[in-house]
Amino acid sequence: MNFRGCLMLLAVVFSSVPWTTAHAQAASEPTASGTPGDAGALKRADRTLAKSVQRTLGKTRGLDTSRVFVRAKNGTVTLAGSVPSGEQIPRVVQVVEGVPGVHAVVNRLAVQSAGQ
């Protein structure tokens, strides 16, 4: 068999081998069929949860959360920004943990420095 024949044989063999990539999919990831949920539904749920957290913080007396930013993803709420005093940080986290749909809280809050 000559060189060209070998190349043809290799081309036939490699074209018949299925080339697939395996990917483990978490239960919360959208699937091709849209089950258990599509990406748009997950984003809407995250946005709804973040708004619920912001609304709850805004209604809580004794907290100044005007500089607190809320992000939600799959039930995990991330708090960033600052509060006027260190005593407010654990209170903010406690309030957020009580919001329905919150599974975990990532606290990235800081105390406002003087002059902010």
Q: Which two tokens stand for residue 78?
A: 């991330």
pLDDT at residue number 21? 37
In the chain, the domains with their CATH numbers are: 38-116 (3.30.1340.30)
Residue 40 has pLDDT above 50, yes or no: yes
Sheet of 68-73, strand order:
68-73, 76-83, 104-111
Q: Which two tokens stand for residue 85?
A: 């005093």
Position with higher pLDDT, 85 vs 14: 85
CB 111 within 8 A of CB 91: no
Position with higher pLDDT, 22 vs 44: 44
What is the number of helices (H) and of strands (E) in the chain?
Answer: 3, 3
